[in-house]
Amino acid sequence: VKPTIAAKKRGLTLVELVLGLVVVSMVAGATGAMMTAVGAGWAHGNQVEVSTSVSTQAMVRIQKILRAAKQIGVCRTGGISGSPSQSAAVLIWKGDINGDGHIQVSELALIEHQSSANPASAQLVCWELVFPSTWTTAQKQAQDLTLADDAIYSDAEIDSFKATTNVRAAGIVTCVTAAEFHRIDSSGTVRPALEYALKFNKDGVVIVKYGRTTSRTPAALPASQS
Amino acid sequence: MTCTSKHSRSGFAMMMVLAAVAIAAVLSFALLAGATLQTRTRGNASRSVSAEYLAESGLNLAMYYLQNPNSAPSLNASNYWAGTSSPVTIGNGTVSVTVTRDAAAGNNWTYEITSTATVGSSGDTQMIRTAYARAYVKNEYRVNYTSGFNASATIQPYTVITGDVICNGTFKLSNSTSTVSGAVYAPTIQLGVGATSPSGGRKDIPTAAVGAPTTTDVNKYQTYTSGGVTYNAGTQAAGTLTGSAGVTTLGSSGSNPAGVWYCSGNLTLGDNVKIDGTLVVAGNLTVAGANIIVTPKSNYPGVVVIGNLQVNQTQKSMTVNGICFVGGQLKSSGVFVTLATCSSLTVNGGLLIGGSSPISSSYNPITNVTLNSTMNKAPELSTAGRTPIGIQVLRWGPVVPVPY
């Protein structure tokens, strides 16, 4: 039977239309929810990826500094949780650059944790002596004093070193909201080590990483520390 | 002519489909690109760490070969491993190592090591890391043989050597009373009438083994270091030194803890000389007395004679409870009468003779040389012919310039 022109032009009934809209909206809602979830998961995955990358690079940087160290000096423990009374810090003899067997101020480095309410500003910094480029050799030598062999094992040396003229801090890794250091060394230790725990907060993703790095070029402990 | 409404609806549907497909394609491409980037990031991080540790492995490999040159695949003209000739494949990466002796260090044992590791195929996924180190190879002179001669030597009658011998020339046992109970490391051996072959037979001289230090290389111990402190040797005047029975003639003190005594000329030892330390004679040493005993401190030689060591006949005797080095010749004066009255030389440690004619053909005292594993230690006896015993890493990382 050939349909009439009237039948061909007939639209949907209200019920059909409502049902169709309901089905379409349900499908659209489900699709939207799924896309939102996938997007959120994707974004979170990216954040984790970035945080992992940041924390891994941070560990690599710390390892590089510590491996080259001749001695690991005084260490402030800090804390990975709670509110430690002192920030984690460790003073190291980063190398016998002039080969004289003694510690000069320019051969020191202080790794210190600087906390902040803003996780992005919380960081680990490395304090080092940086001579002004305009200084003469004589001026540099005058400031680059030789320390007593056991000076770096005194807690007071941390603040003294930071207060030294031309000693400046440079960030080595950001987003470190908490840090804890433990020095492993004694007269019977062949290779001194530093154990550390760092809590990273990158865009809300919190990661805690633990590490232990031994010095590859240890110098003998001074008599007062043996 | 105008289009019908049916034709318009069909075109619209096609555009909608194409638009949907395009959006899906863009989304898919974005997802794929993101996933690819993440995969590459992870891969790069992994390869970066691999390259770091592979480069460190190269440093460790170099330090192993510096300590154990006999294990190295090759040695250069200066007898150390200079590094890889081509990149060595380890796991999924390669490492190239370069070892250079630092002539400016003032010794032959300080090296700069560079190790470059490559992980991944070439292109933007390849990771290259370079590690640096400066190492000092701890070393010492080891006396591995009871007797050592730098040239052809003939062992004269009534000489008994208990242990191995090294001789950089023809080694000859003169008769049945000259014996070696051990191996002889020498190019050739000759046996005199009635002489018997060394119990250990003849062996080829090991690579880099030396018979004895030369007078240029030997340590005269005018200054020496003990416990990190440098001391001067005591001075013994040239001439004749005699002793009293049971009394130490030359010994140690707070300013000379090793009891090293240096004589700049010729010295003759009379009866009962007892030295609790080391005797160094720049000239000739003559044994002209009986009951002479030299007992060095641990890790020091007993007697170092730059010239000749002469034992007079008859009834003279000297015992060295340590290493006895002679830069010139071992000789004697006087004739052999009987065994009972014959002079004697006893070395409990090691007898090293560096001269070109080590033993005089007329040498005739009774001589006993025995290797003693506790008395043959003199790690600082010579600047040459030393053996690596350990590694001290002086710097781990690239050269850091002095700031002024």
The pLDDT tens digits of the residues spanning B79-127 come to 899 999 999 998 889 999 999 999 888 888 999 999 999 999 877 689 9
Parallel, antiparallel, or unpaired for β A89-93 and A108-114? Answer: antiparallel
Residues of chain B with C-beta less than 8 angstroms from the C-beta of A140: 403-404
Interface A-B, measured as beta-carbon pairs within 8 A, has a size of 46
**Side-chain-side CA neighbours of residue B44 (13 Å):** 12
Amino acid (1-letter code) at residue B264 = S
Tokens describing residue A74: 């005084």
Which residues in chain A are contacts of B402 at CB distance < 8 A? 97-98
Helix A14-67 / helix B5-67 crossing angle, nearest 10 deg: 20
Distance from CA of B35 to the nearest CA of A (A): 10
Report the mean per-residue pLDDT for chain B.
93
User: For the stretch A71-105, what's the b/e string if a residue is b when 16 or more beta carbons lie within 10 angstroms of its beta carbon?
Assistant: bbbbbbbbbbeeebeebbbbbbbbbbbbeeeebbb
What's phi and psi for B171, nearest 5 deg?
-110, 125
pLDDT for residue A8: 59
Q: Among B41, B45, B403, whose Cβ lies nearest the Cβ of A106?
A: B403
Residues of B in contact with A141 (CB under 8 A): 404
- Contact of B221 with B280, CB cutoff 8 Å: yes
Which helix (DSSP H) or strand (DSSP E) does residue B90 occupy?
strand B88-90
The yes-or-no verdict on residue A4 having pLDDT over 60 is: no
Cβ partners under 8 Å of residue B383, min gap 6:
B217, B219
Query: What is the reported pLDDT for A224?
Result: 82
Q: Between the CA atoms of A118, A123, A128 and A129, what dihedral angle is there, to the nearest 10 degrees?
A: -10
| Token pair for B167 | 């001789």
Higher pLDDT, B41 or B159: B159
- Percent of chain A past pLDDT 90, that is, above it, reads 69
CA distances from B137 to A35, B67, B120, B143 (A): 64, 7, 34, 19
Predicted confidence band of residue B9 (pLDDT cuts 50, 70, 90): low
Q: Which chain A residues are Cβ-neighbours of B34 within 8 angstroms?
A: 42
Question: In chain A, what residues touch B395 (CB-CB under 8 Å)?
Answer: 68, 95-96, 217
Mean pLDDT of B41-56: 89
Per the CB < 8 Å rule, is A216 touching B394? no
Nearest-Cα distance to chain A for B18, in Å, is 19
What is the pLDDT averaged over residues A96-115? 93
Examine residue B314 and say whether the peptide bond preceding it is cis (omega within 30 degrees of 0): yes
Residue B42, chain A, CB below 8 Å: the answer is yes
Show the DSSP H helices in B144-288 as ranges.
none
Q: Which of residues 83-112 of B touch A (CB under 8 A)?
A: none
Helix (H) or strand (E) holding A60: helix A14-67
The three-class DSSP label of residue B134 is strand
- Within 10 A of A109 (CB to CB), how many other CB atoms are there? 22
Please judge whether B42 and A49 are an interchain contact, meaning their C-beta atoms are less than 8 angstroms apart: yes
Residue B161's contacts (CB-CB under 8 Å, 6 or more residues apart) are B146, B147, B155, B179, B180, B181, B182, B369, B370
**Nearest Cβ partner for A98 among B41, B393, B402:** B402
The answer to whether the Cβ–Cβ distance between B403 and A45 falls below 8 Å is: no
Q: With 0-12 CB in 10 A as exposed, 13-18 as middle and 19+ as buried, what is B248?
A: middle
CB contact under 8 A, A96 and B394: yes
Angle at B277 between CA B273 and CA B278, to 5 degrees: 90
- pLDDT band at residue B390 using 50, 70 and 90 as cut-offs: very high
Tell me the per-residue pLDDT of B166-195, one tens digit each, with 9 for 90 and over.
999 999 999 999 999 999 999 999 999 999
- For residues A133 and B114, give the distance between their C-alpha atoms in angstroms, rounded to a whole number: 30
Burial (CB count within 10 angstroms: exposed 0-12, middle 13-18, buried 19+), residue B225: exposed
The residue of A38, A59, A66, A97 whose CB has the most chain B CBs within 10 angstroms, and thus the best one to mutate to test that interface, is A97
Residues B278, B296 contacting (CB under 8 angstroms): yes
Angle (nearest 5°) at CA B117 between B112 and B121: 160
Test A45 with B49 for CB contact under 8 angstroms.
no
Q: Is B24 on the interface with A (CB under 8 A)?
A: no
- The string of pLDDT tens digits covering residues A33-86 is 999 998 899 888 888 888 888 888 888 889 999 999 999 999 999 999 888 999
List the A123-129 sheet strands across, edge first: A71-76, A89-93, A108-114, A123-129, A167-174
Task: Select the residue from B28, B111, B395 to test the A interface by mutation, using most A Cβ atoms within 10 A.
Answer: B395
pLDDT band at B3 (very low <50, low <70, confident <90, very high): very low
Q: Is the pLDDT of residue B68 over 90?
A: yes
- Residues belonging to chain A with any Cβ–Cβ distance to chain B shorter than 8 Å: 42, 45-46, 49, 53, 56, 60, 64, 67-68, 95-99, 106, 129, 131, 137, 140-141, 144, 216-217
Q: Return the percentage of chain B with pLDDT > 70, whole number.
A: 97
- Interchain proximity A45–B38, CB inside 8 Å: yes
How far does Cα A223 stand from its chain's mean position?
34
Q: Does B400 lie at the interface with A, CB-CB under 8 angstroms?
A: yes
Whether A56 and B394 lie within 8 Å, measured CB to CB? no
Q: Which residues of A touch B45 (CB under 8 A)?
A: 53, 56
* Residue of chain A minimizing CA distance to B105: A99
Question: What is the chain B residue with the closest CA to A136?
Answer: B404
Q: How far is B144 from chain A (nearest CA, A)?
A: 30
Confidence of residue B1 (pLDDT cuts 50, 70, 90): very low
**Helix, coil or strand: residue A123:** strand
Burial B197-214 (b: 16+ CB within 10 A, else e): ebeeebeeeeeebbbbbb
Cα separation, B278 vs B293, whole angstroms:
11
Q: What is chain B's length?
A: 404
Q: Which of B38, B396, B403 sits opposite A216 (nearest CB)?
A: B396
Q: What is the mean pLDDT of residues A80-109?
A: 93
| B240 vs B371 pLDDT, higher one | B240
Please give, rounded to a whole number of angstroms, the shortest distance from the CA of A118 to a CA of chain B: 27
* Mean pLDDT, all residues of chain A: 90
Helix/strand/coil for B380: coil
> Are the beta carbons of A139 and A155 closer than 8 angstroms?
no
Cβ B345 vs Cβ B316: under 8 Å: no
